[in-house]
Amino acid sequence: MTTLLLSDLHLPASASTLRQDFLRFLQGPARKARAVYLLGDVFEAWIGDEDGLAHYGDEIAALRALSEAGVRVFFQHGNRDFLVGERFAQASGASLLADPSVVEIEGRRTLLTHGDLLCTDDIGYQRWRRFSRNGVVQWLFMRIPGGLKRAIADRLRRGSKSAKTRKSMAIMDVNDTAVSACFLRHGVDRIIHGHTHRPDVHHELIDGRTCERIVLADWREHSREYLEVTREGWKRVDIAAS
């Protein structure tokens, strides 16, 4: 059996080949899997379930069909879709997965996280993260009119793009000490995450154990990758190439 993991698809609310390819993935390779883990930032900007359910009906129906076919589907929040909630879970059949979570993937305990929590050098982002994950802030946001919510989200996305041009690559990557602490605290020797858009595999020796950190790829112009994990190992698969 296989377990598939993917993140950072950034599906827009408008028509897009990214969306078509995600549907192809859900109706194709995902059907043969034991489980599918969506590790955040599947959506470009999720401003609440009511709006999301109205815009992403095809994706939600395809996720439901997948879970009804017996494939377990898990959704972890990213920094752009942290407002995905219970209504999405009920409509799609996906289970919301806390960030971080330790799960057994094909016989091996693995820590799954979107990845932004590990970017502790990005002080401005971490401050924004604490603010935007605050229950009172979210409660207030959910009560403003839909058009204003969308305008704020667009403004935040533009602000984020311009903020990133002013931040160094090092600041926007994971912090090594945060990574080592994460391996130790959770007693795992494998972490899988996305967010940084730097697909790679890193190894480090911690307490005499070789630990592995697999970074998922974001979906971009000519690549739509997911990670396929079996008991024998893992590989990246690009559905754009198939």
Closest to 55 measured CA to CA, from 42, 70, 66: 42
Binding mask 1-40 for Mn ion (x = CB under 5 A): ----------------------------------------
Q: Work out whether strand 234-238 and strand 225-229 pair parallel, antiparallel, or are unpaired.
A: antiparallel
Shortest Å distance, C-beta 119 to Mn ion? 9
Bridge partners, residue 220, by sequence? 223
Indicate which single residue of 18, 89, 152, 240 sits in contact with ligand LP5 (rule: CB under 6 A): 152
Q: Does 195 engage in binding with Mn ion (CB under 5 A)?
A: yes
Indicate which single residue of 2, 3, 79, 113 sits in contact with ligand LP5 (rule: CB under 6 A): 79
Indicate which single residue of 12, 124, 146, 187 sits in contact with ligand LP5 (rule: CB under 6 A): 124
Helix (H) or strand (E) holding 173: none
Taking CA atoms, 139 is separated from 25, 39, 79, 98, 168, in Å, by: 34, 24, 17, 19, 33
Q: Does 196 engage in binding with Mn ion (CB under 5 A)?
A: no
The window from 32-40, 91-99, 154-162, 184-192 that contacts ligand LP5 (CB under 6 A) reads 154-162
Neighbours of 168 (CB within 10 A): 9
Shortest Å distance, C-beta 78 to Mn ion? 4
* Structure letter (DSSP) for residue 171: T
Binding mask 27-56 for ligand LP5 (x = CB under 6 A): ------------------x-x---------
Q: Does 231 engage in binding with ligand LP5 (CB under 6 A)?
A: no
* Structure letter (DSSP) for residue 39: -
Taking CA atoms, 83 is separated from 38, 77, 137, 219, in Å, by: 15, 8, 12, 21
Q: Does 213 engage in binding with Mn ion (CB under 5 A)?
A: no
CA distance 164 to 171: 10
Helix (H) or strand (E) holding 22: helix 17-27
Residues near ligand LP5, by CB under 6 A: 45, 47, 79-80, 83, 116, 119, 122, 124-125, 128, 132, 137-138, 141, 152-153, 156-157, 159-161, 163-164, 167, 172
Residues near Mn ion, by CB under 5 A: 41, 78-79, 195
